[in-house]
Amino acid sequence: MYKGNSSGSRGGSSHGGAPRSGGFNRSNSGGSRPSAPRSGGSSFGARTSGGSHSGGARSGGSSYGSRPSSGSGFRGARPGRSGGGSRVGLRGAPRKRCGGGQRIDSNRFINKAIVSTEPVKEYVSKHTFADFPVEERLKQNVITKGYKTPTPIQDQAIPEVLKGIDVVGLANTGTGKTAAFLIPLIDKVLKNPKEEVLVVIPTRELAIQIEDELRAFTKGLGIYSVVCVGGANIVPQLKALRYQNNFVIGTPGRLKDLIERKALKLTNFKTVVLDEADRMLDMGFVNDIKYMMSLMSSERQTLFFSATVSPEIQGLISKFLKNPVTISVKTGDTSMSVDQDVVRMKEGKNKIDMLHDLLITPGFDKVLVFGKTKHGVERLTQDLIKRGIKAESIHGNKTHGKRQKALSLFKSHHVQVLVATDVAARGLDIAGVTHVINYDLPATYDDYVHRIGRTGRGGNTGKALTFVD
């Protein structure tokens, strides 16, 4: 048992370097592309009335392929959608919360990190990134980004995706799944410029993280993409979808909205990626996913990535994938590099006091604190600030811009503590998190696994503490 002591709005750029308004304009990597607005969001033709596009401004637009957004204000997340609202189970019923029906044995929160004096048998990659048979310009971008030796999921999945077959990838969080599907799919687009890829993910933050990586890999390649997520102004997304996009990256709720508005026609897409599929089921998106998949061509390549395989997940795999190759590089439920313990409540001491005592302890430099509800997370954040702790919050009631600002401040060490709901438990790659503290118990053990997966990354040892009665 751990006792302790008492001692912006994302202003990203297009693939070619131009600013994106609010982070949701369609972006490209420069290059000449004579395509024109789709009529009603589907047809292709001459791109602008001013001739071919060559890395400069589109008619009335900004340069380097960044399209004007005409107002990029953000709205709050819809209930039950990307990072917001109540969480529902597979059939729409509220999930039982820990402490409110479903209980997790507190002993499962205690597990020392493995520090062995024996030589660790490391995975030996069969490839280097220079070996993969992808387009040379893409290969150079990947190498320039610092990629040399593939992770296990990258080493095994990239050759299979390049074959054009369906793939199921099972891997722990933080193992490089994004590059495992982006690199071969970018190569696919380069070989067929009219190829359109749909990437479906559970949260806004993960969508932007994926697009950031896509932009780095496609610099100078003339590839276009758009991010379509809830909680952001839909108008720029509607405008972006009037043009051909090689990659559409979005959350299920917003993608469904765009389909119903006839701005997005999935019959044009022959490749789909379902990333963090188990999380999407947890958030109640299963019907949206089934709806979208029913609109796509049966002759498609489907890539399915998940950290866990429940009967529901297996059912989706059987329904949507054809003779898939399954690649599993899971190493267990929880990271061996995370030292896990519990913090038991002391008689006569408030929970917030005990958290404060931990946060002022030397070594608690970059701490991710998980709470149960949006209101509870915000209240806890304000209480910590009043106590002199530099803290920010991230939850579904915050606008997209404020969520991105909070993440940026935490990543850049301007704040010590990020207090979050489970919106931050999956997919986000935040370097250097020293501690994860479960101030409120997670709903399920799977949620616990993903929460603590935010620390102990990149070969470092992390610590996870869970408050229990």
- pLDDT score for 27: 57
Q: What would the pLDDT profile of 62-82 be if each residue is shown by its tens digit?
A: 333 333 333 333 333 333 343
3-state secondary structure of 221: coil
CA 69 from chain centre, in angstroms, equals: 23
CATH no. of 136-328: 3.40.50.300
3-state secondary structure of 199: strand
Cα torsion angle, 366, 367, 373, 377, sign? negative
Domains 106-115+333-468 and 136-328 in one fold: yes
Q: Token pair 């970018």 is at which residue?
A: 186
Pick the CATH number of 106-115+333-468 from 3.40.30.10, 3.40.50.170, 3.40.50.300, 3.40.50.720: 3.40.50.300
Taking residue 319's Cβ as centre, other Cβ atoms within 10 Å add up to: 9
- Residues of the chain short of pLDDT 50, as ranges, are 4-25, 29-101, 115-120
What gap in Å lies between CA 288 and CA 381, rounded to an integer? 33
Cα torsion angle, 405, 233, 277, 97, sign? positive
What gap in Å lies between CA 435 and CA 219, rounded to an integer? 35
Q: Considering the entire predicted model, what is its pTM?
A: 0.63
Domain map of the chain by residue range? 106-115+333-468, 136-328
- Name the token pair of 283: 């958030």
- pLDDT score for 348: 76
Closest CA to 398 of 68, 51, 74: 74
- pLDDT score for 49: 36
Q: What would the pLDDT profile of 93-132 be if each residue is shown by its tens digit?
A: 333 344 444 567 777 777 766 544 444 467 788 999 999 9
Pairing mode of beta strands 367-370, 435-438: parallel
What gap in Å lies between CA 423 and CA 229, rounded to an integer? 14
